[in-house]
Amino acid sequence: MDKLSVMHAFRRIVERGSFARAAEDLGVSPALLSREVKLLEEGLGTSLLTRTTRSMALTEAGRVYYEEAQGILDAVAAAEARIRDGAGAVRGRLRVNAPVSFGQVVIAPALPALLEAHPGLELTLSLDDRVVDMVEGGFDLSIRIRPAMPDSALRVRRIGTVRQRVFASPDYLARAGTPERPGDLAGHRIIGFLMADHLASWTLEGEGGPVTVALDPPVQVGSSLALRDLLIAGQGIGTLPDFVSDPAEASGELVRVLPGWELPPPGIYALSASRVGMDARGAAFLEHLRGALRAGGHS
């Protein structure tokens, strides 16, 4: 039994959550994968997976083996890449998924420098505000902005932080009045962000907080850029991430509402499901992205 091949197959089974999907990826039969895992378990003298007709889960021994196998496979792949391409070479295709507004405002301006520095890099950047299955979608890296990331088989690195604050246009506030405390928001027209965890309520942190305000936004949009434009047009009050709000605030098109309060800052996370997210391609992309985040004050 080729231990490295079995480790690779086992990792793929865990990442895909299915013998059938892993077998399809690897070009072998599910029966062969099942037999190899059984032989592996017999050799180790313990079960690595608990399987039923409808689900599959790692045992504690399986979790340890999976984590150790990841390290071994990544080390082997890195050694091969250094020998094949030369240390630090950045070549080949990198597939990245990111939220739409973050991709447009933060990632896109950083791409010219990345591509000029690494002409051998081929890049696919997919922008989608929905949380996609990055393994199913074939992505090497996924950038997500969330208050926290749930436990998963994916590798998660926090690469920055976003400030999420409340804004309106000067015209709206002149017409509708300026909230003095979080509870005053209930009397205002709220523009909600469909993809946010805080669509129906805002938990604001301040000197007297946290305070949670229940809301029923009459207007709800699925793009923070569209939300920004509605706020600039005087349509109401809403929350925006700082990478979207900073230019409009600097120009005076938007002003802070309840300046002593803001939502808990979500993190910017880089997720990878395979060694590609850790190799020279992924490292180069994240290096340029971190530079953009530092320049914007999001590190």
Tokens found for residue 121: 């890099």
CA 97, CA 115: separation in Å to the nearest integer? Answer: 17
Number of helical (H) and strand (E) elements in the chain, helices listed first = 11, 14
pLDDT by residue for the chain (299 residues), tens only, comes to: 578 888 888 888 888 888 888 888 788 888 888 888 898 888 889 998 887 766 788 888 988 888 888 888 877 776 666 665 554 578 889 999 999 999 999 999 999 999 999 999 999 999 988 877 887 788 889 999 988 777 666 788 888 889 999 999 999 999 999 999 999 998 999 999 987 777 788 999 988 778 999 998 999 998 999 999 999 999 999 999 999 999 999 999 999 999 999 998 888 999 887 554 457 888 889 989 988 888 877 76
Tokens of 94: 């990198």
Q: What ranges do the domains of the chain cover?
A: 3-85, 92-157+266-295, 164-256
Output the CA–CA distances (angstroms, integers) from residue 237 to 39, 108, 181, 198, 215, in the order listed. 61, 28, 14, 14, 11
- Is residue 193 a contact partner of residue 245, using CB atoms and an 8 Å limit? no
- Nearest CA-CA partner of 244 in 106, 98, 97: 106
d(CA 97, CA 82): 26
Whether the Cβ atoms of residue 44 and residue 61 lie closer than 8 Å to each other: yes
Strand partners, 141: 96, 272
CATH number of 164-256: 3.40.190.10
Assign domain 3-85 one CATH number from 4.10.520.10, 3.40.640.10, 3.40.350.10, 1.10.10.10. Answer: 1.10.10.10
Q: What CA–CA distance (Å, rounded) separates 79 from 282?
A: 16
- Per DSSP bridges, beta strands 201-204 and 211-214 are antiparallel
Residue of 52, 244, 235 whose CA lies nearest to 129: 244
Homologous superfamily of the 92-157+266-295 domain (CATH): Periplasmic binding protein-like II (3.40.190.10)
List the beta bridge partners of residue 123.
94
Domains 92-157+266-295 and 164-256 share a fold: yes
Q: What are the helix (H) ranges across 169-236?
A: 170-176, 224-232
Question: Could you read off the pLDDT of 150-181 as tens digits, one per residue?
Answer: 766 678 888 888 999 999 999 999 999 999 99
* 20-51 pLDDT per residue, tens: 888 887 888 888 888 888 988 888 899 988 87
C-beta of residue 283 within 8 angstroms of C-beta of residue 89: no
Burial class (CB in 10 A: 0-12, 13-18, 19+), 208: exposed
